[in-house]
Structure 1
Amino acid sequence: MSRTPLAWKNLVHEPRRLLLASAGVGFAAVLMFTQNGFRHALLDSPVQLIEWMECDLVATSTARYMLPVNQRFARSLLRRAESDPDVSAAEALLIERLMARVRVAGERARPIRVVSVPDPPGWLTIPGLKEQRLSLQPPGTALIDRKTRARYGFQFDHRGSPLPQTVELAEKRIRIVGSVTIGTDFANEGSLLIRESEFARYFPLRGSGSPLGVVDVGMFRIKRGADPDQVAERLTNLAPCIWNVVRKDELKQKERKFWSEQTPVGAIFFIGTVMGFVVGVIICYQILYTSLQDAMPEFATLKAMGYPNRYFVGVVVRQSVFLSWFGFVPAVLVALALFWMLESYSGLPMRLTFTRAITVLALTTSMCLISGLLALRNLVRADPASLF
């Protein structure tokens, strides 16, 4: 004879209560999804440009504790590094933020990140760059990141291509000839891509000598079979007080660690996730406690018949797990829609990956289990006769 699924029947016998309970759990799950999403956006957005560098090793100034900082090294170091027997190619990447101000006609000037496009193709794999590369050949042209914040005033058609507009960069006219997809982060609200040679035209005071004589990021490709860690160590030793050369993954980890541990923003979003969890525990406790109180005469009868406490614990645990699933499924759908809207508005990479969804599911299930076990205390401790 099959046993009656008491936990399931307790949960679904009143559809209206189940709907309200699921909404409460789903609300807490959406809070955790949102806070977790913003936290990961904080960690994912600063490394987007690094991910699109098609290289094995990356060099930055020793004073550059994060990528948006304006600390550079001499281009001559790249030429010296090319003499290493395991280096197959080296290329510079220029990034300007301090002197880069863009103004769209009718709007005020705003700071923007300007990134160079290396002359040899293939060093940057930014979506849309390969198709638009030839558009950058004429002087005074640029590509705009289509995820640049709307406050800049750039206008795009339904395909994401920029509409004709009068634009100035560093108080000089520039023509926007196409768009790419980069994304914003907490330091940059928009990006322009121009040819490296154009940096001398728009930012003549960039370096103490030649504007193109200083480099923000050095990119290296190494020969097949070479040990990247050994090559990185040799290159660093060329000028240990001036630059650091690391694997691309190491630079990404460094950026993520800085934003997570050295800024208050990471802690704020972590606290937000914890608060969502606590709010969920309170909501679930009220739901499950009320459910147990309403069914107390039935539980008293079972307890008087000799059912042990572990049976009731099992019932409440299963009921808590079922409730977490009922709340989690609609929360995923709401989070997907919310992430899409937030990414469209802010340009931040709001990504709901499988791993992150499983993390929130684990938090939601734990939240419901804690609430259920707290609500069960009175039943476990009570004498059967006192429950009637």
Structure 2
Amino acid sequence: MKIPLAWLQLKHQKTRLLVAIAGISFSVILMFMQLGFQSALFDSAVLLHKSLNGDIFLLSPRSTALIAMKSFSERRLYQALGDKNVEFITPIYLGFAQWKNPANPLKWRNIHIIGFDTEYSVFNLPGVEQNMDKLKEPDVVLFDLASRPEFGPVVNLFQSQTSLLTEIDNMSNATRKIEVVGLFKLGTTFGIDGNLITSHLNFLRIFSQRKKGLIEVGVIKLKSGNPANIKQKLQQYLPNDVQIFTKEEWIKFEKQYWMTSTAIGFIFSLGVAMGLIVGIVVVYQILYTDVANHLKEYATLTTMGYRHRYFLTVVFQESLILACLGYIPGFLIASGLYKIAHQTTLLPIAMTQQRTWFVFY
């Protein structure tokens, strides 16, 4: 029976072992948190994109992200009907306005408003389909129950009253009274604290300063055909005053903006890199110190005939033991911090299987 030298060396000095485990756990937590924040940035940015029931999307060439959309003529969307593979088209209107807190009329906060044609089921979101008929009424909206709490106790007030009145300021020339007639769930992003969904007619009533015939997103639903092939056909006869994306390309386009064109994207990417470097340095330093402290023992074993390969195996076993002992508490603490961060920020921060294995290896 072989003596488990690696484990005996580690547990010989229990205090040093606990310090080593704590150091590795800290590195694990650091890597998990940095990866979680970066993932939340990208995942939250494309929540709306993923919820849309469409295959191809038209955008203005001046649009860079969901928080920086520019309008284009809806005529381009209607031109897409010329393809026989198109099932339906529908415009999406996007804009920011100020929402008056119904519980504190002195507090106003920017909110993201989404308008769409209620003739089509465009959103795969809980609560939208059930309230489609209500949205056909004038001056009504659906409120995102995953919005920031700074908008007021909207969900509680609505559930106790079944309707809720407040005001919207289009930040240009008008304030309009609206009624919350339902709830849906989308979620916040790093640039959007809350959302409203309404019909395209109500959207244009709120943003009365807008020119008619201008939209932010054109949704094209296909009844057959490959979206990439249909996109190429559309590019041949649509003018270059619109961008054409498949769903996957639009999601990638949005993530690329947050990754390369924003300070927060750079900071999170740098944080991930620094977390990995710190983790590597901490583990290396722990192993280096342990080997240095046992050089005399290794020299004795060498004179007894043990080869260099044996000592490499011992060091590898020590690193594996330390990794496992440090990973478990780090994983558990990071999972708890994920839940706290999600509850506090309402961002999609959650432990994933892919991230679990990535940090472990």
TM over 0.5: yes
Deviation at 1:114, TM superposition (A): 0.3
1:6 equivalent to 2:34? Answer no
Look up the match of 2:48: 49
1:299 equivalent to 2:303? Answer no
Equivalent residues, number: 353
Contact 1:94 1:215 in 2 (8 A): yes
Contact 1:58 1:246 in 2 (8 A): yes
Report the TM-score when normalising by structure 1.
0.83
Matches within 5 A, 1:226-241: 226-241=225-240
Look up the match of 1:221: 221
Consecutive unaligned residues of structure 2, counting only runs of 5 or more, are: 170-174
Which of the numbers 101, 125, 130 marks the counterpart of 1:104? 101
1:76 equivalent to 2:75? Answer yes
Separation in 1, partners of 2:165, 2:185: 21
Look up the match of 2:205: 201
Deviation at 1:3, TM superposition (A): 2.1
Matches within 5 A, 1:356-367: 356-362=355-361
Contact 1:148 1:191 in 2 (8 A): yes
Q: How far does the alpha carbon of each residue in 1:7-60 deviate from its partner, in whole angstroms, 9 at most, with x for none? A: 233334555543332222111111111111111112111111010111111111
Contact 2:28 2:327 in 1 (8 A): yes
Deviation at 1:317, TM superposition (A): 1.4
Whichever residue aligns with residue 99 of structure 2, its letter is V
Separation in 2, partners of 1:84, 1:162: 48
Look up the match of 1:177: 181
Deviation at 1:253, TM superposition (A): 0.9
SS at match of 1:67: coil
SS at match of 1:82: helix
Contact 1:162 1:176 in 2 (8 A): no
Separation in 2, partners of 1:54, 1:244: 18
In structure 2, do the counterparts of structure 1 residues 284 and 152 end up closer, same or farther at CA, with 3 Å as the change threshold? same
Whichever residue aligns with residue 234 of structure 1, its letter is K
Contact 2:168 2:178 in 1 (8 A): yes
Separation in 2, partners of 1:230, 1:290: 59
Separation in 1, partners of 2:279, 2:354: 21
Which of the numbers 181, 188, 192 marks the counterpart of 1:188? 192
In structure 2, do the counterparts of structure 1 residues 236 and 325 end up closer, same or farther at CA, with 3 Å as the change threshold? same
Separation in 2, partners of 1:51, 1:165: 29
Look up the match of 1:246: 245
Whichever residue aligns with residue 195 of structure 2, its letter is S
Look up the match of 1:309: 308
Matches within 5 A, 1:304-343: 304-343=303-342
- Identity among equivalent positions (%) equals 30
Whichever residue aligns with residue 179 of structure 1, its letter is L
Contact 2:11 2:17 in 1 (8 A): yes
Contact 1:41 1:349 in 2 (8 A): yes
Deviation at 1:294, TM superposition (A): 4.4
Q: How far does the alpha carbon of each residue in 1:90-117 deviate from its partner, in whole angstroms, 9 at most, with x for none? A: 11111112xx111113242222110124
Contact 2:141 2:198 in 1 (8 A): yes
Separation in 2, partners of 1:204, 1:75: 17
Whichever residue aligns with residue 323 of structure 2, its letter is S
Q: How far does the alpha carbon of each residue in 1:171-229 deviate from its partner, in whole angstroms, 9 at most, with x for none? A: 2222223322211112211111112210121111122xx2xx211111112232x2322
Separation in 2, partners of 1:162, 1:274: 48
Deviation at 1:315, TM superposition (A): 0.8
Q: How far does the alpha carbon of each residue in 1:293-325 deviate from its partner, in whole angstroms, 9 at most, with x for none? A: 444443232122122222112111121122112
Matches within 5 A, 1:267-282: 267-282=266-281
In structure 2, do the counterparts of structure 1 residues 257 and 88 end up closer, same or farther at CA, with 3 Å as the change threshold? same
Separation in 2, partners of 1:22, 1:129: 49
SS at match of 1:236: helix
In structure 2, do the counterparts of structure 1 residues 320 and 101 end up closer, same or farther at CA, with 3 Å as the change threshold? same
Report the TM-score when normalising by structure 2.
0.89
Deviation at 1:151, TM superposition (A): 2.3
Q: How far does the alpha carbon of each residue in 1:331-350 deviate from its partner, in whole angstroms, 9 at most, with x for none? A: 22222221122122212211
In structure 2, do the counterparts of structure 1 residues 93 and 19 end up closer, same or farther at CA, with 3 Å as the change threshold? same
Contact 1:236 1:243 in 2 (8 A): no
Of 279-288 and 333-342, deviating more is 279-288
SS at match of 2:82: coil
Look up the match of 1:130: 129
Matches within 5 A, 1:137-176: 137-157=136-156, 166-170=165-169, 171-176=175-180
Deviation at 1:356, TM superposition (A): 1.7
Separation in 2, partners of 1:337, 1:162: 32
Look up the match of 1:355: 354
